[in-house]
Every structure is written in structure tokens, then in C-alpha cells.
Amino acid sequence: MKSRKLLMIPGPVEFTPEVLNAMGEPTTSHIAPDFIDCFGECLEMTREVFLAPSAQPFIVAGTGTFAMDMAASNLIEPGDRALVVNTGYFGDRMGDILGRYGAEVDHLRAPIGDAAGVDDLQEALDAGSYTLVSMTHVDTSTGVLTDVGALAAVAKAAGCLTVVDGVCGTAGAECRTEEWDIDVHLTASQKAVGVPPGLALLTFSPDAMAKFEGRDSPVANYYADIDNWLPIMQAYENRGGAYFGTPPVNLIYALNASLRQILAEGMDARFARHDRLARAFRAGAAAMGLEMVPRDDSLAAPTLTALYYPENIDASLCAGIGAEGVIVAAGLHAEIKEEYFRIGHMGDCNESDILSTLGAVERALAAEGHTCSTRSGVQAAQHALIGD
């Protein structure tokens, strides 16, 4: 009997055999010629995946939170004002990080399941002068998708730098970094990028680099200081070895394999696939009588779905789904933590994964005594996938 369960949490995700094989290659020197080529290719491909041809990419050992830390520490000086477009847990975290580096932080909050629009942002910008506007593309705690393109345009028109936390969106949810005037686009390796945890990936626009270069004070975080990392990135891209901190060699090999797969699929096709699978999953969930945390489909992310438990059912449902062979995640947002659960569907996720997960949810609900409608979740998803 197959013992391994399908991992359908909002990261880490399932990884392709090619990525895992690349990670399992014998570890080499960080200045070996083949590794220098590999790292240089990763930097070049990062621009392509982020759709940021003029940006400076950074690939550094660290988590998504470190990527947030790297953006904040390099762009903020004491006394700067920052506005966080907040859709959940990770908006709160970005606000905390910005504040650590001396920013005066305001939050533009929306009710749980909702997101601020351009009019809300314009009103906030009219009321105060800000250096930087930060927004979370997909907040992992709520499954809410923010219209970062529209918001970034408003922020840039007001003279602000724009930072997009793409940890749960990049390479799954459409984001056209340069076209949309995003100054810093950051993510982590373990979600839609499709690489085991351990890499922080960022792109800095020319405007973001100019802000950094014009600082009056040193960066308060030694490891995050891009003054230390920029020569390293430039050296590897120019196919020369360099050292500041030892890069995670095997993770870089895995990243190279994943970025190649992403680009072979094509960014438009990849965005469309994530959207198609998410719509099918939501159709299945709705057929089972499950309500989303996002208030409507336009706010629902293509990379994960957050669903409220039905009446009289609690977090034990997650264990029940696990017993049916699929691992999902419990709630994260403090205000509703005990009321909902989360399913990731990103990276190498396919139709069979969606149907298997919905089947597991349906069986677990039945075991809890929840009666689904006669049109089951799996059937509804199949209809959505087939196009009926």
C-alpha cells in the first residue's frame, strides 16, 4: 500500500523529480566552474520568471521572512514613513519588520477576506507622505489576492517605492514586475517556485537600487545588506566566483532545474494553469457547501484556497483529511484561526492532485457527518476542468 501522503499545504509543496534529483547531486565547491555557471544562469532566469528584465536579482540563503527583512532593511532609514496594504498575517509581519528599521508604519487594513482597492490607497496616500508602500500579493493566512498591479501604479504616481511580498504568489499568480512598476518583488523557494525551503529570491528595480545607493545611514542588518551581496551576484552572473557567505550549493542546483521547468512551461501558460486549477478547486468546494475566506472569486488566490469549516465541524477535519491521504493546513490568521483551513495548489500541482484532494475532503466531511449536495465536489471540479 502506498504510504506517502499528498502534500497540499500552502508550502512547502510537492517538488518534481528533476528538482529533487538536482538537489541530490554531490555537493561541489561554490567556486567550481559548473556551479558558477549554474548560479549565473539562475540569476538570469530569475529576471525572466519575475518578468523584470531591468532589475537586479538576488538569490540568498534564507526564508521568505528573510526576503522581507532584506527589502525593508535596505530601503528604510529611521524616520521614513511606510504604508502596508494589509490583508492578513503577513501584512502584520511586514509592518513589524519595517518598524524594526525605524520606519513610521501605517496599515491600510481591509476586513478579513477583503482587500483595499485603488480608491482606498489613493485616500491614504493623499492623507500622508510615504517613502514606501508594501503589499502582499497572496496572503498565506487568508488566501486573499491583492491587485498589486493597480495598487503599485497608484503608489508610484505618488512618488513611493513599491514592495510586493510574492512569497505565496510568485510563479503562480500573475505578476508582471517591471510592467507593473514594482520596485522590489520578493519570494521564497518552497512555494510556486517549486524548490525545497531555504532560498530567498528578490529583484530590485533601478529606482530601488537608487534609493539604496542614496542612503544616509548604513544598513542595520549585516547579513541582509545588499552592499555585501551585490558584488557576489554580479560576479556569478559574469561567470566569476566570489565570496561573502557560502551559497547553498545544492539548493541552487535545484533552483536551476525548477526555473528551467517554469520557463519551459511559459509564464502566461503557468499563470493560466494555476488559475484553471484554482477555479476547479473552488467549484468543488462550493459544491460541498464550503465557504471561502475571500469574499468573492475576484479576491481568491490561484495558489491556495482558505475555507471555513461547516457548522459543528472543527480543526479535527484536517486530521480526517490527512487520514484520507492528503495533508492540508489549519488556520493561521489569529482572529479566525479555529474557524477555517487552507489548501495549497501551486507549483507542479495538476488536475489529479485537485481531484484527489477534493475526494479526501469529501470523505473526511462525510466521516464528520456533513452531508454534501448531490453534486459532489469531485464531480463539480471535473465539470470545471472539462469545461461543461
Residue 111 to residue 335: CA distance in whole angstroms: 11
Q: How many CA atoms within 13 Å lie on the side-chain side of 240?
A: 6
| Helix orientation angle between 377-386 and 267-287, rounded to the nearest 10 degrees | 150
Cross-strand pairs, 59: 201
Below-50 pLDDT ranges, the chain: 374
Residue 220 to residue 100: CA distance in whole angstroms: 9
pLDDT value of position 388: 59
pLDDT value of position 241: 86
Nearest alpha carbon to residue 343 among 315, 306, 382: 306
Burial class of residue 18 (count of CB atoms within 10 Å of its CB; 0-12, 13-18, 19+): middle
Q: What is the pLDDT of residues 136-181, one digit of tens each?
A: 999 999 999 999 999 999 999 999 999 999 999 999 999 999 999 9
Cβ contact 86:92 at 8 Å: yes
pLDDT value of position 371: 77
Residue 244 to residue 253: CA distance in whole angstroms: 19
Residue 189 to residue 157: CA distance in whole angstroms: 31
pLDDT value of position 374: 47
Residue 223 to residue 199: CA distance in whole angstroms: 14
What length does the chain have? 388
Cβ contact 145:154 at 8 Å: no
Residue 208 to residue 313: CA distance in whole angstroms: 47
The answer for residues whose C-beta is within 8 angstroms of residue 10's C-beta and 6 or more apart is 140, 168, 191, 303, 304, 329, 342, 343, 344, 346
pLDDT value of position 341: 98
Nearest alpha carbon to residue 303 among 258, 342, 268, 330: 342
DSSP-derived 3-state class of residue 64: helix
Cβ contact 369:34 at 8 Å: no
Which set of grid coordinates corresponds to residue 85? 496594504
Other beta carbons within 10 Å of 61: 15
Going by their DSSP bridges, the two strands 184-188 and 161-165 should be labelled as parallel
Which set of grid coordinates corresponds to residue 1? 500500500
The answer for residues whose C-beta is within 8 angstroms of residue 140's C-beta and 6 or more apart is 10, 11, 88, 89, 90, 167, 168, 304, 332, 342
pLDDT value of position 376: 87
pLDDT value of position 54: 98
| Helix orientation angle between 316-323 and 351-367, rounded to the nearest 10 degrees | 120
Question: Largest alpha-carbon pair distance within the chain?
Answer: 65
pLDDT value of position 191: 98
The answer for residues whose C-beta is within 8 angstroms of residue 364's C-beta and 6 or more apart is 317, 320, 321, 323, 324
Domains recognised in the chain with CATH numbers: 6-11+266-386 (3.90.1150.10), 17-265 (3.40.640.10)
Residue 35 to residue 224: CA distance in whole angstroms: 23
